[in-house]
Structure 1
Amino acid sequence: MKIKAIITGATGMVGEGVLLECLQNPDVESVLVISRKTCGVTHTKLKEIIHQDFFNLSPIRMQLVGYNACYFCLGVSSVGMDQETYYRLTYTLTLHVADVLSELNSDMTFCYVSGGGTDSAEKSRMHWARVKGKTENDLMKLPFKAAFAFRPGFIKKLEGQQYVHKFYKYINWLFPIGRFLAPGGFCTMKELAHGMMQVTLQGYKTRVLEGKDIIAAGKAHMGVQ
């Protein structure tokens, strides 16, 4: 099976990294990026749709047919954002997109980039952790072939990425130390992207992938021990 993937969030660090790895991997046949602005990448595998309103996919609905994977990397930080807006942009938007895709592509594997510390029980004192948990739980109720939640902690960027937070140049040196002391909390962008490809092609033992699972799945796809 070849992967035909839809990627959201390609103008953010995670989405861009996943996109770049997919374009270079022979297991991926084609990629559709849906974004509010161009991702700035050109490739023979890549098609891009510029679309402003993710709450209304009707104008592009039929262009979303024929894909067997979605790597949903679109997300916002809860810092400085009121709870209602965060819920709308995290839960409501994600579920709307996923609902449309599950109707159009019954053989799709949906990979949602969540985050370390997400609360599946939806009872955390932290609002963002409850919202992410509810998002994960309800995604897995949709009629996809499979749905997975990825919960990375610190992610080491790819060389040459353009959509990266400025503070990364000050803290990237922490990665090897963190990986040694707390390996589950530190993964590479390559491991994350390849982990998504791995679960699309082979599935995984759990539907929620914590840091160590992301690393294991990524290494399995790359053939690394």
Structure 2
Amino acid sequence: MRVILFGATGMVGQGVLRECLLDDRVEAVLAVGRSPVGVTHPKLTELVEADLFALEPVTGYDTCFFCLGVSSVGVAPEEYERITYRLTLSVARKLPEDTTFVYVSGAGADSTERGRVRWARVKGATENALAKLPLRTFAFRPGYIQPLHGITSKTPLYRVLYRVAMPLYPLLRRVLPRVVTTTEEIGRAMLEVAVNGCERAVLENADIVTAAGRGGRPAGS
């Protein structure tokens, strides 16, 4: 498998990159973003591009993991839509047909596009538009994501909240198993779905956890 990874400097993207580099099924990873990932590995190549809308078509890869995104908090609606919807579609439309495209959406995404919550409508619209492209698409809708293995959020407030929540994670996992996952599980689930497929095109949090447990290395390694 040859993977293009968008958003490798973000919290989810860091976890996906880690799993790709550790997995023997992955031959090569091209990390595309606006800044370097700060990781050196024989499998890893980087493409730093200030304007991702201007990205030229990339060939030679069969899978795209799209982890790039922005929080809707404190972001103008037009900017949120530009990054969440327009940029995602701009990238997807430049990929070869039949590429496996795994998109990190979010729990609560509104596939009807008619709900009252704007961010959910935009996420749902993005999922729907991707599904119409000649790609093999999957949308991941994780709930609460606990970062593992030293991975951190780029947002200072979130970094503090995750540190506070870390001791509570085992309890959250027992009490709310259907809405809690980790950066490791998301990466493993993406690889599992890319290799073996999934009967669902949209994976909710519980589906992600199930897919993560179906194969690969022992958890935590």
- 1:98 deviates by 0.6
Aligned AA (2:35): K
Q: Deviations over 1:110-148 (max 9, x none)?
A: 00000111111111211000000000010011111x100
Which of 162, 183, 193 is 2:187 aligned to? 193
C-alpha distance in structure 2 between counterparts of 1:19 and 1:190, whole Å: 10
Question: 8 Å contact 1:5–1:71 — kept in the other structure?
Answer: yes
C-alpha distance in structure 2 between counterparts of 1:131 and 1:170, whole Å: 30
Aligned to 2:145: 155
Aligned to 1:124: 115
Aligned to 2:27: 29
- 1:162 deviates by 4.7
- 1:107 deviates by 3.1
C-alpha distance in structure 2 between counterparts of 1:159 and 1:18, whole Å: 12
- 1:224 deviates by 6.8
Q: Deviations over 1:179-221 (max 9, x none)?
A: 1122111012121111111111111010000011000111002
- 1:173 deviates by 2.3
Aligned AA (2:165): I
Q: Can you give the 5+ residue segments of structure 1 that lack an aligned partner in the other structure? A: none
Question: 8 Å contact 1:151–1:211 — kept in the other structure?
Answer: yes
Question: 8 Å contact 1:197–1:221 — kept in the other structure?
Answer: no
Aligned to 1:203: 197
- 1:85 deviates by 1.2
Aligned AA (1:115): G
Aligned AA (1:135): T
Aligned to 2:130: 139
C-alpha distance in structure 1 between counterparts of 2:131 and 2:217, whole Å: 28
1:83-98 matches, cutoff 5 A? 83-98=77-92
C-alpha distance in structure 1 between counterparts of 2:106 and 2:168, whole Å: 19
Describe the SS at the equivalent of 1:212: helix
Q: Can you give the 5+ residue segments of structure 2 that lack an aligned partner in the other structure? A: none
Question: 8 Å contact 2:152–2:159 — kept in the other structure?
Answer: no
C-alpha distance in structure 2 between counterparts of 1:16 and 1:95, whole Å: 22
Q: CA RMSD in A?
A: 1.5
C-alpha distance in structure 1 between counterparts of 2:127 and 2:31, whole Å: 22
C-alpha distance in structure 2 between counterparts of 1:123 and 1:176, whole Å: 36
C-alpha distance in structure 2 between counterparts of 1:158 and 1:49, whole Å: 25
Which of 11, 14, 25 is 2:12 aligned to? 14
Q: Is 1:166 matched up with 2:159?
A: yes
How many residue pairs end up in the alignment?
Answer: 215
1:71-110 matches, cutoff 5 A? 71-101=65-95, 105-110=96-101
Aligned AA (1:7): L
C-alpha distance in structure 2 between counterparts of 1:173 and 1:191, whole Å: 18
Identity %: 47
C-alpha distance in structure 2 between counterparts of 1:135 and 1:147, whole Å: 11
Which of 45, 48, 52 is 2:46 aligned to? 48
TM-score between the two structures when normalised by the length of structure 2: 0.93
Q: Deviations over 1:149-169 (max 9, x none)?
A: 000011121212254542211
Question: 8 Å contact 1:16–1:163 — kept in the other structure?
Answer: no
